[in-house]
Structures are given as structure tokens and as C-alpha cells.
Amino acid sequence: MRVAVANNKGGAGKTTAIVHLAEALAARGRRVLAVDLDPQANLSRRLGYGEAELASMVTAAEVVAAHQKGCAADAIVGCRWITAGAERIDLLPARYDLEARVAEAGQLGSHERLEVALVGVAEDYDVVLLDCPPSLGHLTQLGLAAADTVVLVLRPEYDHLQGAIRVRDFVTTYRRHLGRPRLDVAGVIINEHDRRRGLHAWHTDSVTETFGPLVWSPPIPSRAVLAEAIDAAQPLRARGAPARALIATFSTLADQLEAATDALA
């Protein structure tokens, strides 16, 4: 099952959700492919590949340019974490020059290039998580055209909710053009939730009013240990006792991801 994670608002926690859902899924024995579609390459770094190394690697930029069936296999590398289960996570990395692929947006059928590259490759995994940049442009469209379903990530704030709504509406309007007539939103993850902030409680209600039963729970709380794991490019399982509650949170979200994708299968 291929899941595009998106929001047309930056800093929502898309990459964070992918990294730690991948961790949770791998811990229960699933094979996961994380696909970095963001020239920022945050996902690639958090799974162990820094900018200097990425410079000499085959990345999503070359894969999309090649436009060959199954060529994603030439770029896939293993996650570099040393915790148990990490060997079940693979990465299709990105580099800053993935941005150059945007120039191909006008070419007929160019939105299908990632999907073509994943033919015969995605099937090796239980879950493929596609990390979209905070835009509705060509790179996100490559991800949507390769996806079976969409998960939105947002902070309980006005601009984040609007960004998520724009993705949902974009999917509804353009899914046929993207060759995915049944593509839809399967879930909404609320990130950086702070129970003490009235604004967050208020916007959490708005998210529920907008997306109803698609909203997964619990929300991901705002936690220093998560920011530290992100910074250090480590899994939560490397952060000891302070990370235990978050490990449980991501495991519950992974249950909902699997339930949602099972329902589509």
C-alpha cells in the first residue's frame, strides 16, 4: 500500500510522521519504503544520509529523470539506524536538485514518472510512505500519482488546517488527471498538540468538524524528546525512557494506518 503524506503548509510534521510511523511499522515486522520527494531531503537525513553523502548517490532526482520502469530499485538504500527493526526500513533518497525535475512538469505524462519507477519495486514492501514537500506542485503530484491513498498531517492551527483542506480539494479535483480516480484522504494526523493551549483545543475541534472520522487519535504531542530524535536523526527507540509514551502514540497511529489501508485493499 502506497501512502502519500502531505500538507500544503510547511513544518506541519509530515516528515516526522513518516519517520516514526516507519519506525513503528518496522518494529512490528513490516517492510517499509520511505520515499523522499522533498528537495530539502529532511527524510533522507533523518534515516541516516547527510548532504555530503547524498551528493554522490543516486536519488529520486535521477530516478524521475530516467523514466524507466522499476528504476527506483537502483536508488534504494537501507536506513542507517542501528536499532532492531531498522533493517526493515529502506529509503529512496532525495537531494536539493530534485527541484530541477519541476521543469518537466509541462511534459505530457510527466506526473507518472515516479509511479513508473516504482513498478515491480513497491511490491517488495508492506507500506510505501511518500514524503511530499509543502506544495501542490509537480513533486507532490509525482507522489500523489504514485499513491493509493493520502494522509494529511497538521498542527492545530488555522493555516495548517487550510493547507490540509487545499490538499484534500486538490486530490478531489485532479485525481483523474493524476491517473488515480479513487485517490482520497484516508487519515488526518494532528501533530504538536499542546493540551494547555486553548487555541489548540479550539482548532482540534475545527479539524474534527472538517474531517470527521478521518481524524486519527491520539494527536502527537509536542515533546522535546521528539525534537531531539529528529535533530539527531535517531529513532525514538534510541532515546530511552522519555520516548516511551511517544513510541506508544506512533504505534497507535500505525494501527490506524494499517486499518485504513486494509480497508482499501
Ligand X SMILES: Nc1ncnc2c1ncn2[C@@H]1O[C@H](COP(=O)(O)OP(=O)(O)OP(=O)(O)O)[C@@H](O)[C@H]1O
Q: Grid cell 492545530 — which residue?
A: 156
Does the footprint of ligand X cover residue 93 (CB under 6 A)? no
Q: 167 near 6, Cβ under 8 Å?
A: yes
Please say which residue, 15 or 135, places its beta carbon nearer to Mg ion. Answer: 15
Please say which residue, 12 or 139, places its beta carbon nearer to ligand X. Answer: 12
Contacts to Mg ion from residues 6-25, by CB under 5 A = 14-15
Pick the binder of ligand X from 3, 12, 21, 75 (CB under 6 A). 12
Does the footprint of ligand X cover residue 8 (CB under 6 A)? no
Q: Grid cell 511518500 — which residue?
A: 130
Question: Where does this chain touch ligand X (CB under 6 A) — which range of 103-111, 207-215, 221-229, 257-265?
Answer: 221-229
Least gap, CB of 17 to Mg ion (angstroms): 9
DSSP H helices in the chain:
14-27, 42-46, 51-54, 60-66, 113-117, 138-145, 158-174, 198-211, 224-232, 244-264
User: CB-side exposure of 169: number of CA atoms within 13 Å?
Assistant: 8
Question: Where does this chain touch ligand X (CB under 6 A) — which range of 72-80, 110-118, 204-212, 226-234?
Answer: 226-234
Q: 39 near 96, Cβ under 8 Å?
A: yes
Q: What is the CA radius of gyration of the chain?
A: 17
Pick the binder of ligand X from 129, 142, 220, 254 (CB under 6 A). 220
Label the pairing between strands 185-190 and 149-154: parallel
Q: How far apart are CA 152 and CA 87, in angstroms?
A: 27
The three grid cell numbers given for residue 145, joined into one nine-digit string: 500519482
Does the footprint of ligand X cover residue 16 (CB under 6 A)? yes
Contacts to ligand X from residues 121-180, by CB under 6 A = 133-134
Contacts to Mg ion from residues 33-52, by CB under 5 A = 42
Pick the binder of ligand X from 84, 227, 245, 259 (CB under 6 A). 227
Q: Which residues bind Mg ion (CB under 5 A)?
A: 14-15, 42
Binding site for ligand X (CB under 6 A): 10-16, 38, 40, 42, 133-134, 191-192, 220, 222-223, 226-227, 230
